[in-house]
Amino acid sequence: MSKKTLFYVLFFFFLVIGFYVVMSNAGPGFKAITTPPIGTVQPFAFQNQDGATVTEKNLEGKVVAVEYFFTTCKGICPRLNKNMKSVYEEFKGEKDFLILSHTCDPETDSSAKLKHYADSMKVNTAQWIFLTGRKDSLYNMARHSYKIDDPANNLQSTEDDFLHTQFIALVNRKGEVVKIYDGLKPSEMKLMSKQIRKLLKS
């Protein structure tokens, strides 16, 4: 190795060491670079399975798993909610964890219909909440807050628009969407459970 090459190697070595030392001893004003949230929960008002209004205020300080489905679905929804049920069972009784299941078909899924569905699932609806409301508001939340459907799918006609997604948004205590999971894959649901535990400890 030539002297010139050795010089540059040593120079960059000490440069890296120096940078590390400076960052390690930085004052309280120094903030590490973090990945921004995928999305944030925007204000909303929907009706739950009991006809009561649920808003973003009900999510404050909670870790929340968010999905969309509809009660008459014969395709992905039964598998999606079977997998979600395993997560529910794991965290059942955890006061700071919620599941929000929004209907994709509010014209069919009234509060009463959602109540019947929730009863068939045998879940505590204080922890697993089923929501209905205006179709455009439901879809806007999915696409712009929870980021589980492409906003480009939004059609000019609300009547012709239909959302059908297997993705689940995980929201932290600050109302930030931190991760999107594929609800049809048990491996993804296990990863989500691990992340839920981490978020509950934070």
Beta bridge partners of 64: 98, 171
- Assess contact for 15 and 23: CB atoms under 8 A: no
What is the domain partition of the chain in residue ranges? Answer: 1-33, 39-201
User: What does the pLDDT look like over 103-157, one tens digit per residue?
Assistant: 999 999 999 999 999 999 999 999 999 999 999 999 999 999 999 986 666 555 5
Burial of 131 (0-12, 13-18, 19+ CB in 10 A): buried
SS3 17: helix
Residue type, 35: T
Reading the block at residue 44, the tokens are 């909303």
Q: Could you list the residues known to form a binding site, using ranges.
A: 73, 77, 164
Closest Cα partner for 114 from 124, 129, 127? 129
pTM for this prediction: 0.79
User: What does the pLDDT look like over 44-77, one tens digit per residue?
Assistant: 999 999 999 999 999 999 999 999 999 999 999 9
Please provide the CATH number assigned to the domain covering 39-201.
Answer: 3.40.30.10
Say whether pLDDT at 33 is over 50.
Answer: no
Q: Could you list the residues known to form a binding site for Cu cation, using ranges.
A: 73, 77, 164
